[in-house]
Amino acid sequence: MSEEVLLFGRTRALVGIITDPPHAARRKPLPAVILVNAGLVHRVGPNRLYVKLARSLAALGCVVLRFDLSGIGDSTVRDDHLPFDKSAVSETREAMDALSTARGVEYFLLSGLCSGALIALTTAYGDPRVVGVMPINAQRHHIASVGEEESADYIRNDTAARSYWTNS
C-alpha cells in the first residue's frame, strides 16, 4: 500500500493522508472510507487507531482518508465564524469532494470514534454519496443534537445492533 498527503478545502488548509490499497487488492466498486477526528485527537487517532484501521482497510482493497478537521493537528484554524458542528460536517463533505477528485471515488463509508461518530452520522444524513456509517463508541447523549428524526433512527438501529450482538 502507499500513503500520500492531501491538502484540500476551500483554502487548501485541511490536511489528510490517503492510504491506497496495493494494486493486487484494489476493488473498484468499494466505497472509500473517511475517518473523522475523535475529539481533539489529530488524524492518527487515539493510540494510532486510525493509522492501523486505514492500513487494514487498504489491505482489503479500500481507499482510506484520515484527515484533521480545522484547528486540529496540521489543519489551520478556519477564518470564518462557522460553529464547530457545522464546520465539521462541511469539512467532511470537502474531504469527500477532494477524494472524488483525487481518486475518482463516488461513494463513501464514514467512520469516527466518539464525536467523530456523531460527525459521520450527521454528514451521512444529508449527503447521498454516503452509503454507510461505521460509528465507533458513539456517545448516545450527543445523538439528540443531530435532530429528532435522525436521533430516533440511530437509537432504534443502535438498540437493534446491541440486541443482536448480545443475543448471538
Give the span between the Cα atoms of 34 and 2, in whole angstroms. 16
More confident residue, 47 or 54: 54
Give the span between the Cα atoms of 60 and 9, in whole angstroms. 28
Q: Is 144 within the bounds of a domain?
A: no
pLDDT of amino acid 164: 42
Q: Is 56 within the bounds of a domain?
A: yes
pLDDT of amino acid 168: 43
**Number of neighbouring beta carbons within 10 Å of residue 147:** 13
Q: Is 34 within the bounds of a domain?
A: yes
Q: Is 154 within the bounds of a domain?
A: no
Q: Across residues 102-127, what is the average pLDDT?
A: 92
167 — pLDDT class (breaks 50, 70, 90): very low
Q: Is 152 within the bounds of a domain?
A: no
pLDDT of amino acid 154: 53
Give the domain extent around 46.
2-139
Q: Is 156 within the bounds of a domain?
A: no
Q: Across residues 30-58, what is the average pLDDT?
A: 87
Condensed to tens digits (0 to 9), the pLDDT of residues 69-93 reads 989 888 888 888 888 889 999 999 9
146 — pLDDT class (breaks 50, 70, 90): low
The answer on pLDDT for 58 being more than 90 is yes
Domains contained in the chain, number = 1
> Quick check: helix, strand or coil at residue 164?
helix
- DSSP letter assigned to residue 82: -
Output the average pLDDT for the chain: 83
Q: Across residues 38-66, what is the average pLDDT?
A: 87
Q: Is 99 within the bounds of a domain?
A: yes
Give the span between the Cα atoms of 86 and 106, in whole angstroms. 23
Task: Supply the CATH number for residue 92's domain.
Answer: 3.40.50.1820
The answer on pLDDT for 160 being more than 70 is no
- Tell the burial category of 8 from Cβ atoms under 10 Å away from its Cβ (0-12, 13-18, 19+): buried
Instruction: Give 28-70 as a DSSP string.
Output: TTSPEEEEE--TT--TT-GGGHHHHHHHHHHHTT--EEEEEPT
Q: Is 21 within the bounds of a domain?
A: yes
